[in-house]
Chain A
């Protein structure tokens, strides 16, 4: 049975958009009687080392890429190593690779349109980074795209730091807090309610990442469904195509939408 390889950044293992995508990718591969092997990597160097290791020991038939950048060196690198490649890419990218194109701006626009009619005019995007320089490319793109519409607060790693950063941002006045992480959104909801803050009357909360966690909090958290499951399934299709020689087919990810909860 052949395996498809996937390198995932350590910070992404807590990102439920990514884990949902990976689960759906695995389902597609399983249906084709293939395996998915995922390795957590710390940085670019570790990822490159991993690809060289796979080339050396064999057993990986193709590689799926997440968080690709324009003219991503990993695509060339993997092709040099002889691997078929499929990727999740942003609309800005033009690489000649079987891909699922995610329109990041559409996600931001969906959220912006939703918030336009809400009571808090000010919106703050809270994102925690291990290190801005080594953050996955997609996180950087997201921060940039969000920065065009919202105030952006970069927090140190960890739930407590994200909540503290959000509370500090509220010192400047009421706002809608948009958390990159659903876990951080849930923790902030709990922290604010413990302080007697009324959600959404005093402060609104939105999670940029939808998950069952958002719907299971009390009150439920409004979240953006960025279609991780569908993107994962499409990536699986593109990966299977790449194994049979496809080098350029492109799918567009379905449009994101806001799952309206009780926090915004």
Chain B
């Protein structure tokens, strides 16, 4: 992939693209920005000045002399702005506050939404956001927005078909409801797309590196970063990996199809198989109901990570099915970089990585052309929540990377200054 990123004529998008180049570059000079972007030095000087004036960039010293004047170096002014990311999950709600570099400066973890309806959950989230702002002692005027990550389909017009546990979440607009309560711009996306964006942002991945992030929570999703933006598709629903059909005669899936990845290999399928193994439920303390799905799957995953049978076989079976799905994904999209993220990979992610790597190395159509790198995302923090914060940062500060999404109501660019 080319390291050059030719930009069009000067515009707001050009300005935000320059900001993005500084983000991924870490520390860069104006001349380097001109070389990478293809813009003239005069244009770069003008754009950089506006970013310095807004406090989004700072000058950090001088680079090595290159025969003439020493080049002053630029980097993001990390503490100039913050964004909140929320991972909306049945088992736990995670709120992170990230600075401009995507670095987490604080977080709040509270009980998940469980069986609660939006009428209960949204006021609770608004209250918990107030707790977060108060306890972290951050200047609230520097918080540019809130990103929300959750599983489910984007239904357009700010609504989502959340894969939550009660019917009230169908076609519910978290964006509008939350924005009305907290007075900050709110943007939402599915957890897989957010995880990909979080990896891109916090990992300082350049816009020239396309990659996909596979997210396993209750089901599977896949977020794709293409040219520095989240790939969207016709309705912002790219990456419904969980409903890739792998077995035409397989068990019926709730989506209406049969033999989907989710019905074959997601935590519920693994726990279901575990419950049918004599003695295993007692040995691992499995309860086998919807409410304890996460705990049950984690217990199986931990046992598998410790090499204990039959848990190891159960997880390896799931991993081989996931590997089969990702082989098709890689063949279709010619990817060379995949990340695995989400709570489903927290304990036994290494087993999934091993199976996926083995299948891709052996069977990927492009195996003679390039390798496919498969990595676990940073296991330390909630990837979807960090990504949701990055989503809010990107929407407000880097509108050039948007494609086909809207930010609740309001004018995002007007929010660039606190």
Which residues from chain A sit less than 8 Å from chain B, CB to CB?
1, 3, 5, 13-16, 19-20, 26-27, 29-30, 33, 35-40, 49-50, 53-54, 57, 59-60, 211-216, 218, 220
A13 and B380 contacting across the interface, CB-CB below 8 Å: yes
Contact, CB under 8 Å: B131 / A39: no
- Chain B residues within an 8 Å CB radius of A1: 110-111, 128
Known A54-B135, A57-B134; contact A212-B376, beta-carbon cutoff 8 A? yes
Bound CA–CA A3/B111 (angstroms)? 11
B interface residue count range (under 10 / 10 to 19 / 20 to 34 / 35 or more): 20 to 34
Determine if B109 and A212 form an interchain contact, defined as CB atoms under 8 angstroms apart.
no
Which A residue's beta carbon lies closest to that of B131? A59
Contact of A216 among B131, B137, B349 (CB under 8 A): B349
Among B103, B108, B111, B305, point to the contact of A33 (Cβ < 8 A). Answer: B111
Is the Cβ of A37 less than 8 Å from the Cβ of B380? no
Q: Which residues of B contact A218 (CB under 8 A)?
A: 357
B169 interface residue per 8 A CB criterion: no
Q: Judge if B354 is at the interface, Cβ distance under 8 Å.
A: yes
Pairs of residues from A and B, 5 with the lowest C-beta to C-beta distance, nearest first: A215-B350, A19-B380, A216-B353, A26-B109, A216-B350
Give the docked Cα–Cα distance between A218 and B354 (Å). Answer: 8
Chain B residue with Cβ nearest A27: B92
B109 adjacent to A35 (CB under 8 Å): yes
| Chain A CB within 8 A of B87 CB | no
Enumerate chain A residues within 8 angstroms of B131, measured Cβ to Cβ.
Answer: 3, 35, 37, 59
B contact residues around A19 at 8 Å (CB): 379-381
Interface status of B346 (Cβ within 8 A of chain A): yes
B323 at the interface (CB under 8 A from A): no
Q: Are B92 and A26 in contact, with the CB atoms below 8 A?
A: yes
Q: Mark B93-124, 1 if CB is under 8 A from A, else 0.
A: 00000000001111111111000000000000
User: Is the beta-carbon distance between A59 and B349 smaller than 8 angstroms?
Assistant: no
The digit string for B123-136, where 1 denotes a CB below 8 A from any CB of A, is 00000100110111
Flag whether B220 is at the interface (Cβ < 8 A).
no
Q: Are A38 and B107 in contact (CB under 8 A)?
A: yes
Residue among B112, B137, B379, B380 facing the most chain A CB atoms (10 A cut-off): B380
Apart from the given pairs A36-B108, A211-B379, A212-B305, 14 other A-B contacts in the complex at a CB distance below 8 Å: A1-B111, A16-B380, A35-B110, A38-B106, A40-B104, A40-B106, A54-B135, A59-B134, A59-B135, A212-B348, A212-B376, A215-B351, A216-B349, A216-B350
A-B contact pairs, 13 of them (CB 8 A): A13-B380, A15-B380, A20-B379, A26-B92, A30-B92, A35-B131, A37-B106, A37-B108, A39-B137, A40-B105, A54-B135, A57-B134, A215-B351
| Most chain B CB inside 10 Å of its own CB: which residue of A19, A36, A37 | A37
Specify which chain A residues have a CB less than 8 angstroms from the CB of B354 in the assembled complex: 216
| Residues of the A chain whose Cβ atoms lie less than 8 Å from the Cβ of B105 | 39-40
Q: Which of A26, A39, A54, A216 contacts B375, CB < 8 Å?
A: A216
In the complex, B170 has a CB within 8 A of chain A: no
